[in-house]
């Protein structure tokens, strides 16, 4: 495993084989992919990094746009000389992945959109904007208990107190200004990618958890139904942080998709 920084982006590379880049969600960092890195690294070169404004990567300014994170991914692919790679985007990372794939389709081998949002309805939009308003008025710390409650099941939270504490600490460590900028983009940018992949002709997997209230199964089915080469997988019992809470189920689907048709 190699950890380093390039042009303000903190990266980790593990394994060898066809490259796979994984993008985390807002308020998190690349550590969420630990179980996926372990599962993939024997067959793939696995690349994770901290999004701008997160972890050890450079901060972002107020009013950052989805294009800022697309530019970051462009830089990573250029610096690592990735001619073609598979891209996995989780939650906010899924929005970035949609935007990148729209602009750089020739670079994508396979695309995985995991627990991401797509074309929120009025109720869903009002809910995420209310959380954004709370973070602006009361500080981002005020949103943490509700976020952890949405992300993890009650059963998991009771048994894995150390994991819940780990993510609480992670959320509390975020740069406040960068978090608000990223969260505002996450709350609004789904409209930028509506039907953006309608003509995308590479294999696509859309997956989410059955019980994910922010990235719902209805969203996943609608997104997959719009893309010609897409399949949809709903993880039974899954909530938002299913890569952490249900890694075996997630890894099984992910490996099948990424290895399909390879010799």
Tens of pLDDT, residues 76-102: 999 999 999 999 999 999 999 999 999
- Which three-class secondary structure state does DSSP give residue 67? helix
Could you tell me if residue 261 is left (phi over 0), alpha (psi between -120 and 50 degrees) or otherwise beta?
Answer: left
Residue where the block lists tokens 């599962």 = 39
**Would you state the torsion angle of the CA atoms of residues 82, 86, 90, 91, taken in this order, to the nearest 10 degrees?**
90
**pLDDT of 263 strictly over 70:** no
On average, the pLDDT of the chain sits at 97
CATH architecture, domain 2-259: 3-Layer(aba) Sandwich (3.40)
Predicted TM-score (pTM) of the model is: 0.97
Residues 6+ apart with CB under 8 A from 225: 232
Residues 6+ apart with CB under 8 A from 37: 12, 14, 15, 22, 46, 48
Tens of pLDDT, residues 203-230: 999 999 999 999 999 999 999 999 998 9
Share of the chain above pLDDT 90, in %: 97
Q: According to the model, what pLDDT value does residue 229 have?
A: 84
Tens of pLDDT, residues 105-138: 999 999 999 999 999 999 999 999 999 999 999 9
Residue where the block lists tokens 């190699």 = 2
Residue 235 β-bridge partners = 209
């Amino acid at each position: 495993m190699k950890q380093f920084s390039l042009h303000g982006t903190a990266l980790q590379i593990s394994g060898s084989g066809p490259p796979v880049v994984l993008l985390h969600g807002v308020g998190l960092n690349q550590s969420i992919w630990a179980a996926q890195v372990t599962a993939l690294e024997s067959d793939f070169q696995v690349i994770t990094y901290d999004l701008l404004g997160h972890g050890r990567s450079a901060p972002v300014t107020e009013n950052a746009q989805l294009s800022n994170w697309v530019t970051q991914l462009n830089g990573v692919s250029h610096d690592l000389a990735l001619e073609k790679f598979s891209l996995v985007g989780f939650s906010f990372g899924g929005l970035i992945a949609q935007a990148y794939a729209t602009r750089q389709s020739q670079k994508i081998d396979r695309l995985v959109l995991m627990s991401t949002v797509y074309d929120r309805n009025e109720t869903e939009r009002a809910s995420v904007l209310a959380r954004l308003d709370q973070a602006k008025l009361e500080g981002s710390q005020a949103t943490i208990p509700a976020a952890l409650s949405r992300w993890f099941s009650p059963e998991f939270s009771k048994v894995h107190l150390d994991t819940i504490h780990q993510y609480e600490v992670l959320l509390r460590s975020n740069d406040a200004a960068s978090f608000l900028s990223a969260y505002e983009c996450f709350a609004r940018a789904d409209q930028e990618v509506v039907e953006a992949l309608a003509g995308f002709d590479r294999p696509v997997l859309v997956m989410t958890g059955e019980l994910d209230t922010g990235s719902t199964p209805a969203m996943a089915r609608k997104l997959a139904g719009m893309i010609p080469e897409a399949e949809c997988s709903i993880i039974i019992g899954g909530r938002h942080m299913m890569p952490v809470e249900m890694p075996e189920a997630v890894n099984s689907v992910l490996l099948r998709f990424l290895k399909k048709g390879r010799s």
